[in-house]
Amino acid sequence: MELINLYIEEGDESGVDGIAIVDSPAIDQPFFAFNKTKTLKRYQIQLGSQKGSAFKPVIGDKQVLAGALMIPGLEIYRKDLQPDGSSKEYNVAFTPETINQIVLKFSASNLNKSVNQMHDSSKPVNAVLFQHFIINRELGVMPPLGQDHLVDGTWFGFIKINDVNVWNEFIKTGIYTGYSVQGLFYEEPVLTDNEAKLIAAEII
């Protein structure tokens, strides 16, 4: 299956612009926006269905969620409807470098209160991403307790849910199980080994 790396650039609207709390992986059809000669594509990237990546309420009723927001190298299945009515299946992923760039841009844009339900802008959540970091064992930035399976380069975050109704109705009941970041990204197909060899042979 085709693998596409998603990436962003500085000085434009690409990047993560919000975090949703959701009940299941998003298979929503993306819309397109155009910037210069490149195409920006909106994605909703859900990690909650991946083993060990769902968020967990912090011990006690503090209305705080903890979980991975983005994991480098994790291939995420997508299925897009094509203009002719057919479907295109492929995987997308982010490199550690792209995730680092995303986090820097997200933080500089002061988007830590951009939280919603199910990627629905009409359902904002009174919440704040009050603590987040990129795991880097070499620098001593370790995974939280019980999250040792997360690889270096993972963006991990704690979200305080201030809306008690959302907490009681959707979090404590287990309806919402994961984070899902949303944003605009560029696409770069990843060459297979055979494709890379063919291109190298043509250059030679």
Q: Determine contact, residues 19/115, Cβ cutoff 8 Å.
A: yes
* Other beta carbons less than 10 A from residue 87's beta carbon: 8
> Over its length of 204 residues, how does the chain's per-residue pLDDT go in tens digits?
899 999 999 999 999 999 999 886 432 323 333 334 567 888 888 764 444 556 777 656 789 998 899 999 999 888 888 888 898 899 999 999 999 999 999 999 999 999 999 999 999 999 999 999 999 999 999 998 888 989 999 999 999 999 999 999 998 898 988 888 999 999 999 976 665 555 555 555
Amino acid at 155: W
Rounded to whole angstroms, how far apart are CA atoms 176 and 19?
A: 13
Residue 32: per-residue pLDDT = 31
- CA-nearest of 100, 78, 101 to 3 is 78
Extract the tokens encoding 179.
């984070």
Residue 47: per-residue pLDDT = 64
* DSSP E strands, 14-137: 15-22, 32-35, 38-46, 56-57, 64-70, 76-81, 87-93, 115-117, 120-124, 127-134
Rounded to whole angstroms, how far apart are CA atoms 123 and 31?
A: 20
Residue 80: per-residue pLDDT = 85
Q: Where are the domains of the chain?
A: 3-203
- CA-nearest of 46, 154, 181 to 100 is 154
Q: What is the pTM of this model?
A: 0.83
Residue 53: per-residue pLDDT = 56
